[in-house]
Structure 1
Amino acid sequence: MTVHTSLTQNCKASSYWLDDLQMPPSLPSELQKSVDVVIIGSGYTGMHAAIETARGGRSTMVLDAQDPGWGCSTRNGGQISTSIKPSFEKLSKKYGPERARAIRQEGETALEWIEEFVTTEALDCDFRRNGRYHAAHTPEHYNEIARNAETLRKLEGIEAHAVPRSEQRSELGSDVYHGGVVFARHASINPAKYHRGLLSLAIAAGAHVVGNCAVTGIKNEGHRFVLATARGEVHARNVIVATNGYTTGLTPWLQRRIIPIGSYVIATEPLPKDLMADLLPTNRIASDTCKVVYYYRSSPDGTRILFGGRVSANETDTTVSGPKLFTDMCRIFPQLEPFKVTHSWMGRVAYTFDELAHTGVHGGVHYAMGYCGSGVSMASYLGKRLGQKVLGLSEGKTAFDGLNNPTRPFYKGNPWFLPPVVAYYRRRDRRQYERAAIAAE
């Protein structure tokens, strides 16, 4: 196979985060035939739910079709934000100001809570409150996000301040953007180390975690659930579905409400210290205002750039996405052109039709999913709340409870509309970039 010149000869198709990760704890291969709680999906949502229910005294079994944490929980960019995409104004028009404020506050709560959790549980996962630089790809977008930053500060108490283009080099070693906004409380994490820590906590609490055991059917018999799996039948009092971007026809109602989207990431080879200091002088995580967003950061040891985004209208192979991401990265950071990519991988996130996470109960089955690409803290937080709900605790209540979970006519989980939408927005983003660049000359 021909290797693109931007990729190293032995470029890995696996997540950078898996390098040097310690061996996972020993897991059982046999199923428990009858338990209080079965959790389908072993990512952040499933692990946090398992920790809660197991610590709450319920016999708990986690099942996954792959190895635990195989999905996006170990493949994401390790960026933590407040997770709520719709603005207060947009949510107010739909739900009223009180409910809108409560929904927006859940994002802040999740962000604060995850730091408290990591600290209390003493998880070794490189958690840092280094802040985010959100860059504007046109002057118009800068004016918009600068106004929004002031609104967020006044109305929601969110720490945010605008950085004009003339001062941008203090935050980012690039001249393609037109200023940006700093969100001082946003954070970074090593997602695989974090997941490994959650897995260990769940096992220590008594959860029975079984990988490579797909659930093929769920039957609600009223007083119990009967689950068909690749290794036999299981009975449970409660079932939690925590499959997010990997939701299948096992739960067709949920599948119709989830839009799976591939998110692609690359890692550069180790870079000189002075270059890293030039690219990310404050070591913040970064994103931009493109509709098809790019996100990037330094590795926890400060030696590499990890750069992610959507590079094509259709899903593609990581040997194809890697060179494309490299080209896009070098458009932002021309300083990186002499270097190569050592890792190129992808994971599936889940969007919803209203850009909100959703949690609830359908057909007696508890669920939480649809984090819209910002799920490290929210997936964890709603997983904990799911566990509390199953335990019958009032603390499990969230502002997302009872929200209408929309779908579209004839949609069954295959996002046929995604390629033309992504292609349109990529072209629009590029035209806006080019017009802004010409105007700046």
Structure 2
Amino acid sequence: MWDATRPAATDIMTEDWSRRPYWLDGLEDPGPDATDLPKAVDVLVVGSGYTGLNAAIETARGGRSTLVLDAEAPGAGCSTRNGGQISTSIKPSLAKLAAKHGAARARAIRAEGETALEWIEERIRALGIVCDFRRVGRFHAAHSARSYEDLARDAERLEREEGIEARPVPRTEQRCELGSDLYHGGVVFPRHASLHPARYHGGLLHSARQEDVEVIGHCAVTQIVRHRDGFEVTTEQGMVRARDVIVATNGYTGAPTPWLRRRVIPIGSYVIATETLPRDLIDALFPKDRIASDTCKVVYYFRASPDRSRVIFGGRVSAGETDPAVSGPRLYDDMCRIFPELNGYRVSHSWMGTVAYTFDELAHVGQHEGVHYAMGYCGSGVSMASYLGMRLGQKVLGLAEGRTAFDDLPFPTRPLYTGTPWFLPPMVKWYRWHDRMQHRRAASTAPHPQRGAFPGAQS
């Protein structure tokens, strides 16, 4: 039922709300790097996000002249538009991977997720990037009692079989981790982390330029042609010869690389930031500063901003892609369903970015017709995109340490798929309907939690 104290739909957004990511507030524009396109380079990287910049840093350190091109401003894609949450990145379970790739390969793939999480912390420290990196832990919330039982079993299995810390939290203790009564408990992953995604990207950009990497934005690549001695890359500003080409476009993979475009599924992820909130409210909603996600098929992810002044809330709100002016109020509804205490506060930022899923839910790294690539992080790409970008740079240099557990995996596609996910709207509709039914069944059968057991006032 509509709350009479709640702002009308047209008033949910502040008068000066922005479509720019909240993360860009207060950051200086890094400005253009080069004005003239070089005629030839050793390595040309397409895409200036986490993957491309980490690859470029490695190749430049290896003595290769390196050029990074982007169709938009450097970092305009999801590297400055994500939720700033860092997990172990691998979605398929050990059992599912073992059934498909064998036990040894499955363990190696799963271990890469842990490696990437550890590596990004060290990368940030080594490069001296100030980006609010913190090991805050994740609370993964169960949207039904059955989901909690599954999570608790999985947590026990993760610790036993893979040594991954995971601690079940029953519903009666939930408010010690998250200030919501909607969920039915969850699991804490204490090693998961958070950062400020745009500050992290800005630090990578600065580090790349310190290594003499040229980064040119607003210079879309339109064609990549392989020759016996390298590549000719046609751009909006002219042609460049390159010994090696790296494609690091992830959710923005397009026509110049049709083979890759057929293998990644671009999906819009929508995010809002609230206006400034009272500190005691933030403390009640996020008492341990956890990042959070849930077990819905259409996942929500949320956290406090690094300065603990706002709530950052993201997810998928429509079957097809939509406008931030439309997604903002819808996300607000979902946020207030989880946190009724936020009713009446407004949204100051509403934006979207495009992630890339794959048909096997795994990231992929390799070569096709001589072009190096890494992409398909399935919505968990902060650490994995960075890590695989670094490994890709090592591969270009011919270094043995560049090898990963993802090498030589088949990169599947589907018949008739050319890069436009026509199948996504009906799938999202089905999953959203499934989630609603799960919530209704859970609400009708679950006892109300004992409020007296939970710390913190809600206002």
- TM-score interval, normalised by the smaller of the two chains: over 0.9
Separation of aligned partners in 1, 2:266 and 2:32: 31
2:345 equivalent in structure 1: 339
SS in 1 for 2:330: helix
Q: CA deviation at 1:25?
A: 4.8
Q: Give 1:40's aligned amino acid.
A: V
Q: CA deviation at 1:23?
A: 2.9
Of residues 14, 20, 31, the one that matches 1:14 is: 20
2:304 equivalent in structure 1: 298
SS in 2 for 1:111: helix
Of residues 166, 170, 181, the one that matches 1:160 is: 166
Contact 2:32 2:216 in 1 (8 A): no
Q: CA deviation at 1:398?
A: 0.1
1:261 equivalent in structure 2: 267
Q: Give 1:149's aligned amino acid.
A: A
Separation of aligned partners in 1, 2:417 and 2:100: 23
Q: Which runs of 5+ in 2 are unaligned?
A: 1-7, 448-459
1:426 aligns with 2:426: no
1:132 equivalent in structure 2: 138
Contact 1:326 1:341 in 2 (8 A): yes
Q: Deviations over 1:32-71 (max 9, x none)?
A: 1101000000000000000000011000000111000000
SS in 2 for 1:176: coil
Under a length normalisation based on structure 1, what TM-score does the superposition of the two structures give?
A: 0.99
| Structure 1 residue runs of 4 or more that deviate by more than 2 Å after TM superposition | none
Contact 1:25 1:200 in 2 (8 A): no
2:375 equivalent in structure 1: 369
User: What pairs up with 1:115-126 in 2 under 5 angstroms?
Assistant: 115-126=121-132
Separation of aligned partners in 2, 1:198 and 1:274: 34
Separation of aligned partners in 1, 2:337 and 2:422: 30
User: What pairs up with 1:13-162 in 2 under 5 angstroms?
Assistant: 13-162=19-168
SS in 2 for 1:4: helix
Q: Deviations over 1:384-428 (max 9, x none)?
A: 000000000001000000000000001000000000000100010
1:195 aligns with 2:201: yes
1:205 equivalent in structure 2: 211
Aligned residues: 440
SS in 1 for 2:178: coil
Contact 1:3 1:9 in 2 (8 A): no
Separation of aligned partners in 1, 2:131 and 2:28: 12
1:249 equivalent in structure 2: 255
Under a length normalisation based on structure 2, what TM-score does the superposition of the two structures give?
A: 0.95
2:331 equivalent in structure 1: 325
Contact 1:276 1:302 in 2 (8 A): yes
Of residues 285, 288, 297, the one that matches 1:279 is: 285
Q: CA deviation at 1:27?
A: 1.1
1:220 aligns with 2:226: yes
Q: Give 1:397's aligned amino acid.
A: R
SS in 1 for 2:390: helix
1:315 aligns with 2:297: no
Q: Give 1:242's aligned amino acid.
A: A
Q: Give 1:378's aligned amino acid.
A: M
Contact 1:139 1:178 in 2 (8 A): yes
Q: Deviations over 1:334-359 (max 9, x none)?
A: 00001000000000000000000000
Separation of aligned partners in 2, 1:161 and 1:281: 17
Q: CA deviation at 1:223?
A: 1.1
Separation of aligned partners in 2, 1:29 and 1:163: 55
Q: Give 2:292's aligned amino acid.
A: A
Separation of aligned partners in 2, 1:278 and 1:231: 52
SS in 2 for 1:385: helix
SS in 2 for 1:168: helix
Contact 2:145 2:446 in 1 (8 A): no
Separation of aligned partners in 1, 2:69 and 2:10: 38
Q: CA deviation at 1:3?
A: 7.5
Contact 1:260 1:350 in 2 (8 A): yes
Q: Which stretch of structure 1 is more off in the superposition, 225-234 or 98-107?
A: 225-234
Q: CA deviation at 1:274?
A: 1.1
Separation of aligned partners in 1, 2:400 and 2:230: 23
Separation of aligned partners in 1, 2:26 and 2:228: 46
Separation of aligned partners in 2, 1:26 and 1:37: 20
Contact 2:44 2:245 in 1 (8 A): yes
Q: Deviations over 1:215-257 (max 9, x none)?
A: 1111101211001111111000000000000000110000000
Contact 1:43 1:195 in 2 (8 A): yes
Counting aligned pairs with the same residue, the percent is: 65
1:395 equivalent in structure 2: 401
Separation of aligned partners in 2, 1:23 and 1:424: 41
Separation of aligned partners in 2, 1:376 and 1:410: 30
2:454 equivalent in structure 1: none
1:270 equivalent in structure 2: 276
Q: CA deviation at 1:120?
A: 1.5
Q: CA deviation at 1:29?
A: 1.8
SS in 1 for 2:83: coil
Q: CA deviation at 1:375?
A: 0.1
Contact 1:55 1:206 in 2 (8 A): no
Contact 1:149 1:181 in 2 (8 A): yes
Q: Which runs of 5+ in 1 are unaligned?
A: none
SS in 2 for 1:237: strand
